[in-house]
Amino acid sequence: MEGTHWVVSAQMLMRLYMILLYFPVVCLGASLLYPRLSTRAKVLSTAMLIVQVLFALLTLEAEPASSLEKRLWYVDGEGNVFSAFAALQMALVGLLALAVSRRDSETTAWRRLYFIGMGLVFLFIAMDDYTGLFKSSLYTPWVKWKQGYIILGAATAALTLAMALRARHGDRIWYVCLLLGLSLIGTAGLEIDNMSRYCGVLGIFRLNDCLTYQPLEEGMEALGTWLSLLAVLGLFSGSRYQPPFRPRRALVPILVFVAGLLASYALQLPQELRRLALRYELANHSQAASVSFESGLRLLSFRTDRHKGTFAVGLYLSSAPHSFVGGQMGFSLHLVDQVSGESVAGLDARAGDKGEVWLFDTEEASIYRQWLKIEQIPKDQANRALWIVLTVWSERDGEFMRQRVLSSDLKQLGEAQVVLGELVREAESPPSAQVPLARFENGLKLIAAELPERARAGENMPLTLRWRSDGGGHEDFAQFLHFVHQDTGEWWGYDQQPLGPRLPTRLWYSGLADSETWQAPLPDDLPAGRYAVYTGLYRTRDLMRIPATDGQGQRFPDSRIELGLILIE
């Protein structure tokens, strides 16, 4: 004991969590559900529970040494023995649900469709839980992957509740059991699996190491699947069709599972599937990168994603085997204003926090995908160019140290900051029926210009320009001002970006409506007189002017739009 806290290891605390999880659920099943099962169903469910508990204990107590043992028992990774057994149970639930829909002579059309759908749902979850293809796909951002499972789970729960209300009184308990199982599976996969590691004080306990929640997630998922299995077996027990079953045959699927699991790991099937998925994503749905940090971490590829006001970056990363999830490495993702250089939104996350998925191991490194999500870009930052900046850090003796970039094919803002790209928060703009002053061939429109009647040489001349865009910019354009003396024909020019450096035209978007007030610096020696003021656009890469037309579709000579006359004093 240390002060007012009990010092415990994270492993011991996880054992306590697992006991508190399994004990009440197993007691509930033994007292309320087992008496309603047929003898065959009792044998099968008991055998699955015993093997499940055995694998849970081995996972908690195992201290793997070789790479094969780590793949088999390392619970933080996908495809370990415990998660593979949970996938086997899910597949068994799916197959039994399909069997109920086909064999039960009392099954109505709606009940048959329900069990077919339930069977397919469990088979899909089993496949994804073992291979991790859907969760590990960079094309499926973490936020969308989570939303997809929430929608699937909510729909399944709603249909199960509807079936319970329509079922016979004796069958309702099985639907309730199925709902409880689905709740445990959903909570494990969507909440527990995304909980960050915890270090320090937890209630009355002081942890002597960091607590990871993956064993609890796997236990809840396996236990929820076992309850779902009890529910389907209970519905089977109440049907007229009883499948042939002998107690000795209960060992057959378990032996087949063990043999298949060992063969799968010998062939590295899950890793091969993830490797194929990685190659597809790198080629089609992400931007390749080659960035090396002094910690040994390498950025292989990334993708940005925006969804309902949130902004996320998906990273494909390579690190030494299992070092990524050690809790000692982390990331900072910031949106940096390109003009002021200040961060307007950002987050800090440890490696392995929410959105992390292990993909596969090679002999030299492990490959991970990490999603970093910024919940909201401030509204006052609309129509401003932002850099997407990534920083990697590591914790050493309680201090967080930025990791220098050793090599990079991406732009850098500093020795430890990598620019992944740029973006702009779009502002909501109502449509306008006003006839523009000029339409440019690149889809940009000059709506209006407010020119002063007179100005003084040596001072700044204010000029307000209002713009709209019918399409994305994708390219940098500059705007020119030409002052042409009406008497002598001499002229003077001044150029800048239409909306200034805060929003280059390459980041303009369809529906943009914005204005900028220029402060054009007039030369001290600008001759006095009346000047005609012209403007236009040109591409910065080749200095070619962009043709423009007026409101009646007539082209402007020399691609110059006359804004009016001004008197220079």
Mean pLDDT, range 320-338, rounded to an integer: 76
pLDDT digits (tens, 9 = 90+) for 376-413: 788 888 899 999 999 999 877 667 889 999 999 999 99
Q: Where are the alpha helices (DSSP H) in 167-213?
A: 172-190
Write b or e for each residue in 143-181: b if 16 or more Cβ atoms lie within 10 A of its Cβ, otherwise e.
bebbeebeeebeebeebbeebbeebeeebebbbbbbbbb
Mean pLDDT, range 336-342, rounded to an integer: 93
pLDDT digits (tens, 9 = 90+) for 152-171: 778 888 888 888 887 777 77
Neighbours of 110 (CB within 10 A): 12
Partners of 444 in beta bridges: 469
Letter for the amino acid at 146?
A: K
Instruction: Look at residue 480 and tell me whether its pLDDT is greater than 70.
Output: yes
| Of the candidates 207, 218, 186, the residue with the CA atom closest to the CA atom of residue 327 | 207
Quick one: residue 505, left, alpha or beta (phi over 0 = left, psi -120 to 50 = alpha)?
A: alpha
pLDDT of residue 477: 95
| Of the candidates 237, 276, 470, the residue with the CA atom closest to the CA atom of residue 359 | 276
438 vs 151, residue with greater confidence: 438
362 vs 465, residue with greater confidence: 465
- Please tell me which of 96-110, 349-363, 533-547 the model is most confident about, judged by mean pLDDT: 533-547
Instruction: State how far the Cα of 459 lies from the Cα of 41, in Å rounded to an integer.
Output: 91
Which pairing describes strands 205-207 and 201-202: parallel, antiparallel, or unpaired? antiparallel
Write b or e for each residue in 418-455: b if 16 or more Cβ atoms lie within 10 A of its Cβ, otherwise e.
bebebbbbbeeeeeeeeebbbbbebbbbbbebebeeeb
Coil/strand/helix, residue 456: coil
Contact of 519 with 461, CB cutoff 8 Å: yes
pLDDT digits (tens, 9 = 90+) for 36-78: 888 878 888 888 888 888 877 777 776 666 655 666 666 655 5
pLDDT of residue 304: 85
Maximum Cα–Cα distance across the chain = 109
| Of the candidates 338, 337, 330, 377, the residue with the CA atom closest to the CA atom of residue 354 | 330
- Per residue, the 3-state secondary structure of 272-292, as one string, reads HHHHHHHHHHHHHCCEEEEEE
Coil/strand/helix, residue 390: strand
Count how many residues are written for the chain.
569
Neighbours of 109 (CB within 10 A): 7
494 vs 157, residue with greater confidence: 494
Measured N-to-C along each axis, helices 142-166 and 172-190 cross at an angle, to the nearest 10 degrees, of: 170
Distances (CA, A) of 509 to 198, 258, 385, 530, 540: 42, 56, 12, 37, 19
Mean pLDDT, range 345-365, rounded to an integer: 68
- Please tell me which of 283-287, 362-366, 565-569 the model is most confident about, judged by mean pLDDT: 565-569
Instruction: Return the sign of the alpha-carbon dihedral for residues 533, 538, 542, 544.
Output: negative
pLDDT of residue 440: 93
Neighbours of 10 (CB within 10 A): 20
Contact of 437 with 446, CB cutoff 8 Å: yes
Where is average pLDDT lowest: 109-113, 305-309, 437-441, 565-569? Answer: 305-309
Coil/strand/helix, residue 539: strand
Instruction: Look at residue 263 and tell me whether its pLDDT is greater than 70.
Output: no
Contact of 479 with 495, CB cutoff 8 Å: yes
Instruction: State how far the Cα of 130 lies from the Cα of 80, in Å rounded to an integer.
Output: 8
pLDDT of residue 133: 59
pLDDT of residue 164: 80
Distances (CA, A) of 382 to 208, 310, 373, 508: 46, 14, 19, 12
Question: Residue 138 — very low, low, confident or very high, per pLDDT cuts 50/70/90?
Answer: very low
Mean pLDDT, range 82-95, rounded to an integer: 80
Instruction: Look at residue 330 and tell me whether its pLDDT is greater than 80.
Output: yes
| Structure tokens, 120 | 């397919």
Q: Report percent pLDDT > 90 for the chain.
A: 29
Neighbours of 259 (CB within 10 A): 10
Letter for the amino acid at 61?
A: E
- Alpha-carbon Rg of the chain, whole angstroms? 32
Instruction: State how far the Cα of 71 lies from the Cα of 66, in Å rounded to an integer.
Output: 9
Instruction: Look at residue 355 and tell me whether its pLDDT is greater than 60.
Output: no
Instruction: Return the sign of the alpha-carbon dihedral for residues 510, 476, 563, 454.
Output: positive
Partners of 399 in beta bridges: 396
- In which element (H, E) is residue 129 found? helix 109-131
Whole-prediction pTM = 0.67
pLDDT of residue 245: 46
pLDDT of residue 555: 94
Instruction: Look at residue 247 and tell me whether its pLDDT is greater than 50.
Output: no
